[in-house]
Amino acid sequence: MFPDSNRTQPFGSGATVSYNYFDLQIQNNTEADYQLLVWMDDEFLHGEWRCSQPPSYQYQVYEREHIIKAAWWGGYIRSNVLFRKSYTIYGTEVGDEHVCNNQAIMMYQPLLPQDSVT
């Protein structure tokens, strides 16, 4: 999800992996058993959810109000609002709900050109 060039996921919808710190926390409030598989290849981190029951819904996480602002100290602050649309397995939209608001100090220069990222 880093850098922003060719980003495919909304800002704030991922989880940071940093040894010895909790970031991604998952709670299962259903009767179904879930398994999260995570693996890496030479280029990407992959993930897959598996479940003991067939899915009842499909979801789309998307952002609104995404903005990057220059801060008075010379850095940048980024913010957005995440929402989640719910669809039946037949594709009928049945919900659109607010998930969270994000605001973060950026620890890198925003909108780096793709050629400058290694």
The closest alpha carbon to 100, from 14, 17, 2, 7, belongs to 14
Buried b (16+ CB within 10 A) or exposed e, 55-66: eeeeeeeebeee
Tens digits of residue pLDDT in 53-68:
998 899 999 999 988 8
Tens digits of residue pLDDT in 18-56:
667 776 778 899 999 999 998 989 988 788 989 999 988
Rounded to two decimals, what is the model's pTM?
0.67
Residue 111's pLDDT is 64
Residue 93's pLDDT is 97
* Sequence letter at residue 90: Y
